[in-house]
A and B are shown apart, each in its own frame.
Chain A
């Protein structure tokens, strides 16, 4: 790397820029950055636990919801959707080919949302043997219809 300073005719100087040390610094910096960088794209699901504090907060709100929706995940991959309040209804969604029937759950929640558009929260319960992955997958489906999910215990 070199640079010309001044007019060639009047006399110029070629200056050699030594970038070896810059490259050394860059090498160290890049090594450090690569070692500490995280290439995972992580997002978050908001949820809350059902408890006395939450209930007190809910009690302070202007109008309670007309119905309360509870979704329960069973160990046999069945899903129980229960409605209590102004309407009472319980529907069991059987497993589809030994796995969770997410499509049926989505349809059921969509139908409930259509009937009760002011309801925005649902309680999600699970039996002890259900894995965390299944709970998250169910939450992802539920949140598309009802954004507030409360995690509770059976």
Chain B
């Protein structure tokens, strides 16, 4: 009798399928996905500073709009995502010719876009994403170069407090 029952139990154990309960995991993933999709869709303007760039924090900042991005870090000034001038410890290296060329190129590009599309305005806006440790002399240099090429409407990026 004992042998019969142990053999039966062994057969039952062999035939039983073990199923994983992943219903709750699917629920969690659905909620996470909805949350992330909402955040992904609502952020029309994506500002991703380079690693090591510390943006200053301030109160009273307003939402922004799409414009040419200029980033000032400790090692470089990037215009439209491309390095335009080299910096060493936030101080400019060289005469800034590369910076002027970069703004000139962007200005020409902007003019072409405005010419091709009536809905786009030539407003001279730029978004400045600068590290909080940058001395004003460097910021001034970048802004001067931008202003010479018609980019005088500034949007200074800050972390909302």
Quote the shortest CB–CB distance from B126 to chain A (angstroms): 10
B150 interface residue per 8 A CB criterion: yes
User: Which of chain A's residues has its CB closest to B156's CB?
Assistant: A45
Quote the shortest CB–CB distance from A83 to chain B (angstroms): 23
Q: Which A residues between 1 and 28 are near B, CB-CB below 8 angstroms?
A: 1, 19-20, 22-23, 26-27
Q: Which residues of B contact A133 (CB under 8 A)?
A: 56, 132-133
Q: Which residues of A contact B132 (CB under 8 A)?
A: 131-133, 136
User: Which of chain A's residues has its CB closest to B153's CB?
Assistant: A48
Residue contact B48 to A38, C-beta cutoff 8 Å: yes
Residue contact A48 to B159, C-beta cutoff 8 Å: no
Residue contact A42 to B55, C-beta cutoff 8 Å: yes
Residue contact B147 to A132, C-beta cutoff 8 Å: no
A30 interface residue per 8 A CB criterion: yes
Q: Considering only CB atoms and an 8 Å cut-off, how many residues of chain B contact the other chain?
A: 52
Residue contact B154 to A131, C-beta cutoff 8 Å: no
Residue contact A132 to B47, C-beta cutoff 8 Å: no
B25 interface residue per 8 A CB criterion: yes
Query: Given A132-B139, A136-B156, A139-B58, are A33 and B37 neighbors across the interface (CB < 8 Å)?
Result: yes
Query: Given A53-B150, A131-B136, are A43 and B29 neighbors across the interface (CB < 8 Å)?
Result: no
User: Which of chain B's residues has its CB closest to A26's CB?
Assistant: B29
Quote the shortest CB–CB distance from A150 to chain B (angstroms): 10
Query: Given A26-B33, A43-B160, are A130 and B26 neighbors across the interface (CB < 8 Å)?
Result: no
Residue contact B56 to A19, C-beta cutoff 8 Å: no
Stretch at the interface among B61-69, B75-83, B100-108, B109-117: B61-69
Query: Given A37-B39, A139-B58, are A128 and B30 neighbors across the interface (CB < 8 Å)?
Result: no
In the assembled complex, the Cα of A45 lies from the Cα of B43 at a distance in Å of 18
In the assembled complex, the Cα of A37 lies from the Cα of B160 at a distance in Å of 17
Residue contact B135 to A132, C-beta cutoff 8 Å: yes
A135 interface residue per 8 A CB criterion: yes
In the assembled complex, the Cα of A153 lies from the Cα of B153 at a distance in Å of 16
Q: Which residues of B contact A131 (CB under 8 A)?
A: 132-136
Residue contact A33 to B140, C-beta cutoff 8 Å: no
User: Which of chain A's residues has its CB closest to B138's CB?
Assistant: A132
Residue contact A43 to B33, C-beta cutoff 8 Å: no
In the assembled complex, the Cα of A126 lies from the Cα of B64 at a distance in Å of 25
A151 interface residue per 8 A CB criterion: yes
Could you list 16 examples of A-B contacts with CB < 8 Å? A37-B40, A40-B47, A42-B47, A42-B64, A43-B157, A44-B61, A44-B62, A44-B156, A49-B143, A126-B140, A128-B136, A131-B133, A136-B56, A136-B132, A143-B60, A151-B143
User: Which A residues lie at the B interface, using CB under 8 A?
Assistant: 1, 19-20, 22-23, 26-27, 29-30, 33-34, 36-38, 40-49, 51, 53-54, 73, 126-133, 135-137, 139-140, 143-144, 151, 153
User: Which B residues lie at the A interface, using CB under 8 A?
Assistant: 22-23, 25-26, 29-30, 32-33, 36-37, 39-40, 43, 46-49, 55-56, 58-64, 72, 127, 130-137, 139-140, 143-144, 146-147, 150, 152-160
